[in-house]
Amino acid sequence: MPFTCYLDAFSGISGDMLVGALADAGADQNAITAAIASLGADAEVSFEKVKRCGIGATKYHVHAHHAHAHRHLSHIVKLIEQADLAGRARDNAIAVFRRLGEAEAEVHQVGIEQVHFHEVGAVDSIADIVGACVAFDLLGVETVVCSPVNVGSGTVKTEHGMLPVPAPATARLLVNAPVYSRGPSVELTTPTGAAVATTLARSFGVLPSMTIRRTGYGAGDHDFPGQPNVLRVILGEPTGADEALAVSVIEANIDDCNPQVLAYACERLLEAGALDVTLQPVIMKKGRPGQMLQVIARPEDREALAQMLFSETSTLGVRVYAAERRVQARDWTEVETRYGKVRVKVSGEGSYAPEYEDCRRLALETGAALKHVIAAANHAYLNKQSR
């Protein structure tokens, strides 16, 4: 069964930490070494067992025979295309470098083919990105999810001088991704690590619902006191929960708004991408009856939906807090009733429900009571299951 891989970047993420973690989780080290050798990039790689703050981890080393001051994207792509790599690993590696090139081009305000990759184009970064993509493929990883990313703080020395952490390219790559800074005043997330995570991760957030099969730890260069300098990967098989993600909850208590306006606001919020919208009666200050309007939103939609709540209702303030969402996997089947065809939603555990909009449409078209259409759909589904 294909794996889901969770990147737990509580101490940041770099290319070498990622390759080390995937090797620690069982990716064939000899196969990774052979893939890097096939690049013809004058590099050798090795793996070493180390400890970081008492946690056993694998350190991935890249040994470059010759220094290359600059490389352009086209040169790197050619190296990857000519190497002995599986198709998916090759395509992923090229995609990561293109994303990295776009970020560097934007930071330096030049065309992507004018970018001199400096550290990014150095042999170790090529070996890191290709090694990570090969390791994902060796482990059978189909889906990557990343935690919020610890970027570190302070400054970092680069070809362009001392730069603030996160470095400009790292910050550009992590646009729309959840980040924070905690721990030692150093660079914890590199452009290479950020490029792999943002290119290959399906989403950022909490640990997805899975049956854990393997874990691995990849070591960074330094051993910090009080914080393991490792990247953890967790590999598992997806369970029945189709969705496991961080969400934002937006709430407002409203006692001076026309109910028709509130109903319209709920419709608009759902149309704008809210995952769910509810109204609950509440007793507010001075004994006033009111409504609590609650919106469940994807984190990236939070600000837009909060502004819509302001514009479409009379509220002057909202509460926003983080939560987690779990949703059962579901499938659809179709049943035939005396009124017409109705889709039925079926959960992984066997619960089922006729699609309301189908039942409503048939009730209007036939003149039958809605409750009778729903009952007919339930009966038809149960008969279908018993055959």
In angstroms and rounded to an integer, the radius of gyration of the C-alpha atoms of the chain is 26
Same domain? 25 vs 135: yes
Q: What is the pTM of this model?
A: 0.71
Q: What is the average per-residue pLDDT within 122-138? A: 93
* Residue at which a domain ends, from 281, 305, 326: 326
Among residues 284, 208, 290, 209, the alpha carbon closest in space to that of 257 is found at 290
**What's the mean pLDDT in 278-290?**
95
- CATH code of the domain in which 318 resides: 3.30.70.1380
Among the candidates 169, 204, 239, a domain finishes at 239
Average pLDDT of every residue of the chain: 91
Going by pLDDT thresholds of 50, 70 and 90, the confidence category of residue 119 is very low
Contact 11, 190 (CB under 8 A): no
Same domain, 146 and 69: yes
At 70, is the pLDDT very low, low, confident or very high (cuts 50, 70, 90)?
low
CB 338, CB 221: distance < 8 Å: no
- Give yes or no for residue 80 having a pLDDT over 50: yes
Spatial separation of the C-alpha atoms in residues 171 and 198, rounded to whole Å: 11
Give me the pLDDT at residue 110, please. Answer: 77
Length of the chain: 387
Q: Are residues 231 and 250 in the same domain?
A: no
With a CB cutoff of 8 Å and minimum separation 6, the contacts of 166 are: 151, 152, 174, 179, 187, 189, 194
How confident is the model at residue 120, as a pLDDT? 46
Cα dist from 125 to 129, 179, 199, 324, 333, whole Å: 6, 22, 15, 35, 49
Q: Parallel, antiparallel, or unpaired for β 241-254 and 330-337?
A: unpaired
Domain count, the chain: 3
Residues 6+ apart with CB under 8 A from 187: 12, 151, 152, 154, 156, 165, 166, 167
Name the residue with higher pLDDT: 105 or 336: 336
Predicted confidence (pLDDT) per residue in 199-223, tens digit: 999 988 888 888 999 999 999 999 9
CA angle at residue 104 from 98 to 109, to 5 degrees? 120
Same domain (yes/no): 125, 160: yes
Do both 223 and 261 map to the same domain?
no
- Asked if residue 279 and residue 367 are part of one domain, the reply reads no
pLDDT of residue 74: 85
Domain that holds residue 266: 244-326
In a shared domain, residues 335 and 322: no
Q: 213 and 64 in one domain? A: yes
Is there a single domain that holds both residue 159 and residue 63?
Answer: yes
| Cα gap 94→80, rounded to integer Å | 7
Residues 56 and 106 in one domain: yes
Best mean pLDDT range from 27-31, 96-100, 122-126, 184-188: 27-31
**CB within 8 Å of 239: residues ≥ 6 apart:** 209, 210, 211
Residue of 268, 17, 233 whose CA lies nearest to 139: 233
> Are residues 68 and 214 both part of a single domain?
yes
Does one domain contain both 318 and 340? no
Burial label, 331 (beta-carbon count in 10 A; 0-12, 13-18, 19+): exposed
Out of 207, 239, 271, a domain closes at 239
The span from the CA of 326 to the CA of 163, in Å, is 40
Whether residue 38 contacts residue 233, with contact meaning beta carbons closer than 8 Å, is answered with no
66 alpha-carbon distance from chain centroid:
36
